[in-house]
Structure 1
Amino acid sequence: MGAPIARTLAERWDVVAYDPVHAPGDPVALAAGVDALVTVLPGAAEVRRLGAVLAALRPDALWLDLTSGDPRVYAELGHPRTVGAPMAGGPGRPLTFFVGGADALADELLDALGTRDPIGPGAGDGQTAKLITNLLWFGQVVAVTEALLLGQALGLDPRDLRRTLATGAASSAFVDDYLDRLLDGDYAASFGLDRVVEELDTLASLAHAEGVPFELSQTVVRLHREALERFGAVDGEMLAAKLLQERAARRA
């Protein structure tokens, strides 16, 4: 997503891009001269390696991080003017940003890219909201798949059951927008399974640190880890469903 975001911002601002493969250079030297640093990275591990780049920023320069990651990284890195705004959407789809923090320049940049969903005043608040949203999404992948497999074992056609789910109390954005794809064997290859597990592990760590119940969600974490072991670090954010389908087929 970094390249299309850079192109869009370049329509209104002077933009210098860095990518270790496609736009190499010295990111520390580049950071020293900017008013705003916008980062789009694979995950929290890559964000945690930004220490030298952030140290080169002027204290009054904005760091706008669009990475989906860990809300704790901003306190660890300690840049004084930080907004975290992980995104939902992707190529060919509108972008929505879960915004943590308040900054006029960040708002202007984000408005040029998509829609802002202000979450809270802390830089990590948007990350927390995005992670929780994804937790429920990954949980639905597992729960809906298990429900359909049970219905199928008891003689119901999955597509007939899908229509019933869509018009009843079990309706959701997942059922409405993604279940047909799942039934067609499309496991949403727009996001890596290893990144799914990384996000779920972050959520489990946060729940443990805060001492809150996480029993049901821990099962979701375990099944996605097992899917990663089965299929490897491939693209497919609904591959936990395929794992369950394979297990059901072996028992039939």
Structure 2
Amino acid sequence: MLRIGLIGFGRMGAPICANLVKAGHPVAVFDADPDRESAVIECGATWRPSPFEVAANAEAFITVLPGSAEVDAVMSDAVLDALEPGATWIDMSSNTPTAAAVIREHAHARGVDVLEAPMGGGPDDADAGTLRLFVGGDSELLARHRPLLEVIADPNKIVHTGGPGTGYTLKLLVNLLWFGQAVATAEALLLGHRAGIALDVLHDTLAGSAASSEFIRRDLPGLLAGDYLASFGLDHIHDQLAIVTSLARDLHTPHDVADAVRRIHQLALERFGPVDGELLAVALLEEQAGLRLRR
């Protein structure tokens, strides 16, 4: 059993913590919200009042945070100094390759190993221990920590993406395509419905056609029932899409479609504010059309 330090006890961090405890790992936890202390203790973990105290005894130090700003705020030099040489920092946050690179260099200078393992899936997947992980870093380090990660994720969905930065990048690309599919599907449905095609016919036909996607098969029924997926902040979504377009500019690849997806989410952010809702860009399109996508 590894001594685990966990930073972040939110929608994803709490079920991850519970699974680690069930597997027999001693887990010390810090969260920026002190009101979560009782839930941490009830989960079977130990509450610590600072990231420094979590790091001080951790063999595996796991961050489960919304984005790069939150990771930067936690991963100070003091926290890195508290980690013992040979410990491993595993970042499961929706981080960026550029932001993480600086912290990774500081960690390596102190003898701390680093794996990036951003997640695919939602709170239900975290609860079931069936997350998808996009793991960037040394393959031997991944092999050493695979038993730990298999407590959190489906063993068949732990993908080694390559060297440092590739895990973050692949997760960003998955997000780009998913959010792009969401708004493209919404535009098609609004047009088809306005033209007189019933939503049930649109859904069933698209799901069985060459235009089908995971979004149409799995997530569209929830949208048609009025669920905008309040599991992630619209501001963080826009930040991630902006990072994708910035990365494309830096690497000199086309990104007109990616930038269009980003602009739609920027308009949604301006309309609704930094609230939770992965499909609020669709709500914006519905407002613009004066038509709700409801069965």
**TM-score of the pair, normalised by structure 2:** 0.80
Provide the residue aligned with 1:55 in structure 2.
81
Where in structure 2 are the equivalents of 1:40-51 lying within 5 Å? 40-49=64-73, 50-51=75-76
Deviations 1:187-241 (A, max 9, x none): 1112221121111111122112112110011010000010011111111101111
Aligned match for 2:254, one of 213, 227, 233: 213
Q: Does structure 1 residue 73 correspond to structure 2 residue 99? A: yes
Q: Give the ranges of 4+ consecutive aligned residues of structure 1 lying more than 4 Å apart after TM superposition.
A: none
Where in structure 2 are the equivalents of 1:1-252 lying within 5 Å? 1-10=12-21, 11-20=23-32, 21=34, 22=36, 23-49=47-73, 50-52=75-77, 53-77=79-103, 78=105, 79-80=107-108, 81-93=113-125, 94-101=130-137, 102=139, 103=141, 104-115=143-154, 116-249=157-290
Contact 2:228/2:280 (<8 A) preserved: yes
Larger deviation, residues 149-158 vs 133-142: 149-158
- The residue type paired with residue 142 of structure 1 is V
1:85 to partner: Cα distance:
0.5
- The residue type paired with residue 166 of structure 2 is D
Compared with structure 1, are the counterparts of its residues 107 and 123 closer, same or farther at alpha carbon in structure 2 (3 Å cutoff)? farther
- The residue type paired with residue 195 of structure 2 is L
Deviations 1:44-74 (A, max 9, x none): 1111221221233223210011111212233
Contact 2:229/2:277 (<8 A) preserved: yes
Q: Structure 1: which 5+ residue stretches go unaligned?
A: none
1:24 to partner: Cα distance:
4.7
- Rounded to whole Å, the distance in 1 between the matches of 2:220 and 2:248 is 29
- Rounded to whole Å, the distance in 2 between the matches of 1:30 and 1:68 is 21
1:182 to partner: Cα distance:
1.5
For the residue of structure 2 that corresponds to 1:60, the secondary structure is: coil
Larger deviation, residues 160-169 vs 108-117: 108-117
- Rounded to whole Å, the distance in 2 between the matches of 1:47 and 1:232 is 22
Contact 2:30/2:49 (<8 A) preserved: yes
Larger deviation, residues 172-181 vs 4-13: 4-13
Q: Percent identity?
A: 45
- Rounded to whole Å, the distance in 2 between the matches of 1:30 and 1:180 is 41
For the residue of structure 2 that corresponds to 1:33, the secondary structure is: coil
Larger deviation, residues 221-230 vs 69-78: 69-78
Q: Structure 2: which 5+ residue stretches go unaligned?
A: 1-11, 37-46
Compared with structure 1, are the counterparts of its residues 153 and 3 closer, same or farther at alpha carbon in structure 2 (3 Å cutoff)? closer
- Rounded to whole Å, the distance in 1 between the matches of 2:160 and 2:254 is 23
1:243 to partner: Cα distance:
0.6
Larger deviation, residues 105-114 vs 230-239: 105-114
- Rounded to whole Å, the distance in 2 between the matches of 1:121 and 1:153 is 46
Compared with structure 1, are the counterparts of its residues 158 and 143 closer, same or farther at alpha carbon in structure 2 (3 Å cutoff)? same
For the residue of structure 2 that corresponds to 1:73, the secondary structure is: helix
**Count of aligned pairs between the two proteins:** 250
1:139 to partner: Cα distance:
0.2
Compared with structure 1, are the counterparts of its residues 56 and 24 closer, same or farther at alpha carbon in structure 2 (3 Å cutoff)? closer
Provide the residue aligned with 2:43 in structure 1.
none
Contact 1:83/1:106 (<8 A) preserved: no
Structure with a larger share of its residues in strand? 2
